[in-house]
Structure 1
């Protein structure tokens, strides 16, 4: 497993790649360092997301789930809703206004998990936050 540093809202997290999403991991690694904005989810509960519109990573569904655990990061390749990355910081059921969605679980936060709720509430109450994903 490869480790990735994620920095957002004054917090640093370390994530490991998920072995059951090799195509998603490989494609995402080619984007690093990757800079975006995190905003709070609208339909999914306690999560933050990176809306990617029509962006295509070039992967389909691998180990997709609708119920990420705290610290799980999913990539949704698009279809019923726009392409996106979602990070669960609490109870989360991945969905859009079109209904339930499922994304590839490609990263898991393994260090800094104790700061995830603070990240989520910062994004909720203070708005969009810069996020950087980078190789370690």
Structure 2
């Protein structure tokens, strides 16, 4: 028996089911779980392509790299643990080459939205044109056989 964990990612009132990537990024998932429920404003990226981000400044989650990628797929959320650039969350809604003004970066893929990618892309484009939106991450767990 394993614990099946699902999340809801809510952006501007639109809810998306998601899952933690627990096996691939256990330390990052544990760090994010400690801050749930999480609510913040999400803004469009400047360098990386079709994604939105939450800048976290000098926040230190105490993490290194695990399950790191520079090219998250639509619906994948990564945590950049800091170093060359500031700590941040990034949520891809289209093609992404994760970078900062200092150059290419990689972040820990820890969460995947499982449904509603068309709505996610629409909200991403809206964020580009109309500005910041509220994002909320909440967890609901259960038992799976």
State the TM-score bracket (shorter-chain normalisation): over 0.9
Structure 1 unaligned blocks of 5 or more: none
Of the two, which has the highest radius of gyration?
2
Name the structure 2 match of 1:13: 16
Query: Separation in 1 of the partners of 2:33 and 2:112?
Result: 14
Name the structure 2 match of 1:53: 57
> What is the CA deviation profile of residues 36-72 of structure 1, one whole-angstrom value per residue up to 9, with x for unaligned ones?
1100000000000000001111211111010111111
Give how far 1:10 is off: 2.6
Structure 2 unaligned blocks of 5 or more: 141-145
Q: Kindly indicate whether residue 128 of structure 2 is the aligned counterpart of residue 124 of structure 1.
A: yes
Name the structure 1 match of 2:72: 68
Aligned residue for 1:26, secondary structure, equals helix
Query: Separation in 2 of the partners of 1:109 and 1:8?
Result: 12
How many residues matched?
Answer: 136
The TM-score, its normalising length taken from structure 2, stands at 0.91
Aligned residue for 1:111, secondary structure, equals coil
Give how far 1:92 is off: 0.6
Q: Kindly indicate whether residue 6 of structure 2 is the aligned counterpart of residue 3 of structure 1.
A: yes
Give how far 1:111 is off: 1.9
Root-mean-square deviation (CA, aligned residues, Å) is 0.9
